[in-house]
């Protein structure tokens, strides 16, 4: 039976998407659920032998799954890794590599078909960030035909960014399970205030995740329902 799959999309870049994905993974596992978490595309990833690898998104997601940081686990989580902290299309050019959307989609579909339980697929950057020379994260998400969990921050401007992403998902008939507001360091308003504003317009449940807090159980239950 194909996995229950959720795509973790971002309203922007560097807003806590991996933080939320890792917290959600831990919460699902703590509740006895079978979960696998992937970040097929990852930029800013040093080589495995580099001390900085432990701070990469891939390493954080593997740690949340209690997996050993070895070459097999890294390849199984993030088969397309780039060292430059840029959008994948730009990072690929710098490394003289290419990335084909069909290959990415095909790999993801094979993981959906072969994974039991719940599968979390974290996207890269914001919803409209380029993933190849011709395709964006939205194209990737649409092709997979799976529901989305949207992550945003609480920084000044986050409300507009989040609601624009919600509207974009609706425009393209992508089911939106929920929005998670990840607390931004130094934000001028409390994360709960930002979440309440988003909730008035999002048309989906909205959750808060403060730094250092565990993922809300209600969110995990929604994802696994």
Instruction: Give residue 92's pLDDT.
Output: 87
Active site residues: 39
Asked if the model's pLDDT at residue 129 lies above 90, the reply is yes
Please give the torsion angle defined by the CA atoms of residues 1, 68, 45 and 71, in that order, rounded to the nearest 10 degrees: -80
Residue 103 belongs to a domain with what CATH number? Answer: 3.40.50.300
Q: How many domains does the chain have?
A: 1
Instruction: Give residue 211's pLDDT.
Output: 87
Query: Which pairs from 71-78 meet CB under 8 Å and 24+ separation?
Result: 74/48, 76/38, 77/37, 77/38, 77/39, 78/38, 78/39, 78/40, 78/41, 78/42, 78/45
Q: Calculate mean pLDDT across residues 91-118.
A: 93
Instruction: Give residue 64's pLDDT.
Output: 97
Instruction: Give residue 18's pLDDT.
Output: 96
Tell whether residue 132 is among the known ligand binding residues: no
- Identify the domain containing residue 206 by its residue range: 4-223
Instruction: Give residue 145's pLDDT.
Output: 96
- What is the average pLDDT score of the chain? 94
Instruction: Give residue 212's pLDDT.
Output: 87
In tens, the pLDDT along 23-54 reads 999 999 999 999 999 999 999 999 999 999 99
In tens, the pLDDT along 64-92 reads 999 999 999 999 999 999 998 888 889 88
Tell whether residue 43 is among the known ligand binding residues: yes
Tell whether residue 72 is among the known ligand binding residues: no
Instruction: Give residue 161's pLDDT.
Output: 97
Tell whether residue 17 is among the known ligand binding residues: yes
- Which of 91, 88, 76, 74 has its CA nearest to residue 126? 88
Instruction: Give residue 2's pLDDT.
Output: 74
Instruction: Give residue 1's pLDDT.
Output: 62
Instruction: Give residue 224's pLDDT.
Output: 79
Tell whether residue 19 is among the known ligand binding residues: yes
């Amino acid at each position: 039976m194909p996995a229950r799959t959720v795509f973790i999309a971002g309203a922007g870049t560097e807003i806590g998407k991996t933080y939320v994905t890792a917290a959600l993974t831990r919460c699902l596992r703590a509740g006895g659920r079978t979960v696998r978490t992937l970040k097929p595309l990852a930029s800013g990833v040093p080589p495995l032998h580099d001390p900085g690898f432990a701070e990469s998104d891939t390493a954080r997601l593997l740690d949340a799954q209690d997996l050993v940081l070895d070459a097999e686990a890294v390849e199984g989580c993030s088969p397309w890794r780039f060292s430059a902290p840029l959008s994948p299309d730009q990072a690929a050019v710098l490394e003289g590599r290419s990335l084909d959307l069909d290959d990415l989609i095909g790999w993801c579909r094979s993981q959906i078909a072969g994974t039991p339980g719940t599968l979390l697929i974290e996207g890269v950057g914001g919803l409209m960030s380029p993933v190849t020379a011709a395709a964006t994260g939205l194209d990737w998400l649409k092709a997979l035909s799976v529901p989305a969990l949207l992550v945003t921050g609480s920084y000044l401007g986050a409300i507009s960014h989040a609601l624009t992403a919600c509207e974009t998902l609706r425009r393209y008939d992508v089911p939106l399970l929920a929005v998670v507001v990840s607390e931004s360091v130094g934000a001028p308003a409390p994360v709960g205030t930002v979440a309440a504003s988003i909730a008035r317009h999002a048309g989906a449940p909205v959750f808060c995740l403060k730094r250092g807090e565990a993922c809300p159980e209600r969110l995990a239950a929604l994802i696994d329902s």
